[in-house]
Amino acid sequence: MFLRKRKMVFLSITLFLVTAVAGITQEQLRERGEVIKNVPTTHKVVALTIDDGPHSKTTPAVLAALKEKDVKVTLFLLASNVEQHPELVQQAVQAGHEIGTHTYSHTLLTRLSKQAVADELTKAEEIISKLAPKPILFRPPGGAFNQAVLAAAHERGYTTVTWSVDPEDWKCPPVSNVVQHVVSHVTPGSIVLLHDGQYPLPTPEALKQIIDQLRAQGYTFVTVSELLQYYEVRD
Ligand SMILES: [Zn+2]
């Protein structure tokens, strides 16, 4: 009994230490000027992210696949598309998905002045914020950034997020190629890049199989904000 008690105390102390170093606030990340590509963690968690939507055909299919599998993702919305399909954004928010910004016009931001980057972010934010909580996550189009882009994002309170797994679904490969690429490249803390800004795409069907296969390996699916809670600081 005494030994068991000691073991319990030891366990709680270990758990306390693990929790003490795990997780990082967005504020800390911004201060570190860190761009999140993936999250260092020993937990089998993965974040699926979907860019460029909403699209009238692909987004409803994506949302249906995620509902069927009971998974929440982070959608990096293109605000010019949000203007076309606000009802799909409302649907995504109601379903519990996280909304990030992917700018207004999908211009390559590294070609713009810092002021022009700021304008892209501000315009997108005004449109998205009417339908969803103000986004705090930002994904630059094409994953392209420089110091001016990062500074403009930082000043507006954004954490910049790229990805670590890219099956190039926008090139419309067969479903099985997308699934195979994702399942064979995901590791704990991965951020997977997928798209819903065009039609047709293999993505809705691929999502279901990706979720089934990674779940069978013991993975759980979280939004990018949730993934940051698993960040294990090692310094
Ligand atoms: Zn994009």
Based on the structure, what is the number of domains in the chain? 1
User: What is the average pLDDT score of the chain?
Assistant: 91
CA of 195 to the centre of ligand 1 (A): 7
Asked if residue 9 is part of any domain, the answer here is no
Is the residue at 163 inside a domain?
Answer: yes
Is 30 within the bounds of a domain?
yes
197 Cα–ligand 1 center, Å = 8
pLDDT higher than threshold 80 for residue 81: yes
- Residue 143 inside a domain? The answer is yes
- 102 alpha carbon – ligand 1 mean position (Å): 7
Q: What is the pLDDT of residue 4?
A: 52
Residue 49, beta-bridge partner list? 74, 193
Sign of CA dihedral 159, 162, 164, 165: positive
3-state helix, strand, coil split of the chain in percent (to 5) is 50, 15, 35
Residue 108 belongs to a domain: yes
Range of the domain at 75: 24-228
Which of 139, 164, 172 minimizes the C-alpha distance to 47?
A: 164
CATH (domain of 158): 3.20.20.370
Q: Which residues pair with 47 in a beta bridge?
A: 191, 222
pLDDT tens track for 4-23: 554 444 444 444 444 434 67
Q: How far is the CA of 13 from the centre of ligand 1 (A)?
A: 44
Active-site residue among 51, 52, 169, 196?
51
The 3-class secondary structure across 82-145, one letter per residue, is: HHHCHHHHHHHHHCCCEEEECCCCCCCHHHCCHHHHHHHHHHHHHHHHCCCCCCCEECCHHHCC
Residue 212 annotated among the catalytic residues of the structure:
no
pLDDT value, residue 28 = 77
Q: Is residue 18 domain-resident? A: no
Percent of the chain with pLDDT over 70: 89
Q: How far is the CA of 2 from the centre of ligand 1 (A)?
A: 59
Residue 223, pLDDT above cutoff 70:
yes
What tens digit of pLDDT does each residue of 110-122 get?
A: 999 999 999 999 9
Using only C-alpha atoms, what is the Rg of the chain? Answer: 19
Output the CA 100–ligand 1 centroid distance in Å: 12
**Residue 195 known to be catalytic:** yes
Q: What is the reported pTM?
A: 0.89
Q: How far is the CA of 189 from the centre of ligand 1 (A)?
A: 21
Longest dimension (CA), the chain: 68
| Ligand 1 centroid – CA 106 distance (Å) | 6
Give the pLDDT of residue 13: 41
**Domain assignment present for 5:** no
Residue type, 190: S
State the catalytic residue, choosing from 102, 106, 181, 195: 195
What is the Å distance from ligand 1's center to 218 Cα? Answer: 29
In a domain, 102, yes or no: yes
Instruction: Give, in order, the Cα–Cα distances in Å from 180 to each of 117, 129, 191, 200, 235.
Output: 36, 36, 16, 19, 34
Give the residue-averaged pLDDT of 165-185: 98
